[in-house]
Amino acid sequence: MVRKSTSKETARKPNMREAILAAAEELFAINGFNAVSVRDIAQAAGANPGSVTYHFKTKDGLLLEIYRRHCGPMNLRRSELLAAARRVRDLQDRLEAIVRAYVVPAFTSGSDLAGGGARFTRLRAVMSAEGNEVARKIIAQTFDDTSHAFIDAIHESLPHIPRADIVWRSHFLLGALYYSLVTPERVSRLSRGEADGSDAAGAIEQLVQATVAAFQAPALDQTAPARRRPALSSKT
Amino acid sequence: MVRKSTSKETARKPNMREAILAAAEELFAINGFNAVSVRDIAQAAGANPGSVTYHFKTKDGLLLEIYRRHCGPMNLRRSELLAAARRVRDLQDRLEAIVRAYVVPAFTSGSDLAGGGARFTRLRAVMSAEGNEVARKIIAQTFDDTSHAFIDAIHESLPHIPRADIVWRSHFLLGALYYSLVTPERVSRLSRGEADGSDAAGAIEQLVQATVAAFQAPALDQTAPARRRPALSSKT
DNA sequence: TTATCTTTTGTACGATAGTACAAATCCCAT
DNA sequence: ATGGGATTTGTACTATCGTACAAAAGATAA
């Protein structure tokens, strides 16, 4: 409280560790884990390569710390919003509130961390695509509980839909969410400027609206042997 | 026709070039571009590292050739299916046919190439997440036309929905499609075995059903200033 | 100030990356 | 069979990777 920072991003010397974390987060989220070297991170943070080793021991350790930094606040925020959503009476409104509780923190959580949660969610998307081992372990540990909680909540508000269908649809939701953060410029390009893929609020509204409708789609009758199922090679 | 191959995957010496392409495609699709070395590819193909340089000059050239190999057949198949879908009279059925025309080739095209198009689509997903430059250029050149054609077709069958909304929803479709191919095991895990994420036919049905519903969702009224828009920091 | 602990710097090492290139080998028309 | 182009092999070069580690610098309490 006593020491005021210069309020510029070139903070004099409050925490080199934080600078490295921020730089790594940004670079990993944009270029992936493997394409970014420790030297790249150090340079972006204005630090020495050896300093990264000192604070985080290894490159994996650095990624691990990034996850640790974000997972807690994000899942906490999700839990709060989910709890509130569960109390919504109208089933339609409740479903929307649940979806919103899942989506919003992915764009905005970690409000104290500059840049918000969107960058971290993008990082998760990229790590997922790269099949990063460190990320995979943390995800399974940290996010599966949350995912199950959301799936259960959605299932409660849509009792006539089989759980498997809900899992699929929430999977699609996560994929859509990830992809929106990975290539937002594609939306702008394909819409010829009518939509802005980088506008978080707009993306959230679109995503929530589309996803709620997807969840409400009729159940996929898996007992009936496929009404019509075209193409697809006959074997396998 | 005269020469019969041994029908084992260790084909004696038909085409080392093909073996390298197949190995690279598989490794890139699973581990990403940067995590796979030319030596890894050569070893998986039973070839010498220098042989890769001989056939494809550079690692980028190898990736480029993979794209060239698949883009043509896949977009051709999509065009055929889209043309057929456009002739469907019932608007509801037509929308489903259009979505199916977009999704099915992503899982199955390149029928002559072993493994089908799912591997290539997964590769595209991973390259997209990694922000691969080579991939980005080819995508913009090759897929934007196809994407616009589908968006237009969907727009025709849903004239009351703004084009921007349709762009967003087709973007979500692609994200969901990608993610389904990147981490199919997540579906199996979260559904506790009730659903099989690796079952292409099942994934297609789920994806089509959910996406059609998403497209049919009410238009997002963007003139009205946000019915209710919670959370999200007030600034920015 | 001085002693001690923390942090940063500079540098080096071994491993591995992409690619180049000459030699060896294979394939096939003549 | 043989000559010649296509292909494969083996190896080497340079660059960069992650990481280790000793020395320098900075901070803190006595």
Question: Given this model, what pLDDT does residue A156 score?
Answer: 96
Q: How confident is the model at residue A10 (pLDDT cuts 50, 70, 90)?
A: very low
Nucleotide nearest to B53 (CA to C1'): C19
Residues by CB within 7 Å of nucleic chain C, which ones? A 13, 16-17, 47-51, 53-55; B 13, 36-40, 49-50, 52-54, 57-60
Give the residue from chain A lying closest to B146, CA to CA: A190
Could you give the dihedral angle defined by the CA atoms of residues B68, B73, B75 and B78, in that order, rounded to the nearest 10 degrees? -160
Q: How far is the CA of B14 from the C1' of D1 (A)?
A: 25
Minimal Cα distance from B201: which residue of A?
A232
A94, amino acid identity: R
How high is the pLDDT of residue A14? 63
With a cut of 50, list the residues of chain B below it in pLDDT. 1-13, 224-236
d(CA B97, CA B206) in angstroms, rounded, equals 14
Residue A28: partners with Cβ closer than 8 Å, 6 or more residues away: A36, A63, A66, A123, A126, A127
Nearest to B187 among A111, A168, A200 (CB): A168
Phi, psi of A35 (to 5 degrees): -80, -10
The reply to whether the CB atom of residue B18 sits less than 7 A from any atom in nucleic acid chain D is no
| Residue-level pLDDT at A8 | 32
Q: What distance in Å separates the CA atoms of residue A24 and residue A8, rounded to the nearest whole number?
A: 19
| Tens-digit pLDDT profile for residues B29-72 | 999 999 999 999 999 999 999 999 999 999 999 999 999 999 99
B-contacting residues of A 82-111, CB under 8 Å?
100, 104, 107-108, 111
pLDDT, chain A, mean:
88
Quote the pTM value.
0.90
Pairwise CB contact (< 8 Å): A172 & B179 = yes
Inter-chain residue contact B213 with A211, CB threshold 8 Å:
no
A106 CA → C8 C1’, Å: 35
Q: What is the tally of helices (H) and strands (E) in chain A?
A: 10, 0
Tell me whether residues B178 and A180 touch, CB distance under 8 A. no
Name the band, by pLDDT with cuts 50, 70 and 90, for residue A114.
low
Q: How far is B20 from chain A (nearest CA, A)?
A: 21
pLDDT for position A183:
96
Question: A79 CB near a chain B CB, below 8 Å?
Answer: no
Average the pLDDT over A69-96 and give the result. Answer: 95
* Residue A51 CA, nucleotide C10 C1', distance (Å): 11
A19 CB within 8 Å of a chain B CB = no
CB spacing of B210 vs A172 below 8 angstroms? yes
CA of A48 to C1' of C10 (A): 9
> For residue B36, which nucleotide's C1' is closest to its Cα?
C17
Average pLDDT of span A64-80: 94
Task: Kindly state the DSSP code that residue B13 receives in the 8-state scheme.
Answer: S
Chain A residues with CB-CB distance to B195 below 8 A: 164, 167-168
Q: Are A83 and A64 in contact (CB under 8 A)?
A: no
Does the distance separating the beta carbons of B194 and A167 come in below 8 Å? Answer: yes
Residues of B from 49 to 68 whose C-beta is within 7 A of strand D: which are they? 49-51, 53-55
Given a contact cutoff of 8 angstroms between Cβ atoms, the answer to whether B208 and B176 are in contact is no
What is the rounded distance in angstroms from the CA atom of residue B72 to the CA atom of residue B41? 24
∠ CA(B134), CA(A204), CA(B208), 5° rounding? 70
Instruction: Calculate the angstrom distance between C1' of C26 and CA of A69.
Output: 59
Mutate to test the interface with B, among A76, A190, A199 (most CBs of B within 10 A): A190
Residue nearest to nucleotide C21 (CA to C1'): B50
Task: List pLDDT tens digits, range B140-165.
Answer: 899 989 999 999 999 999 999 999 99
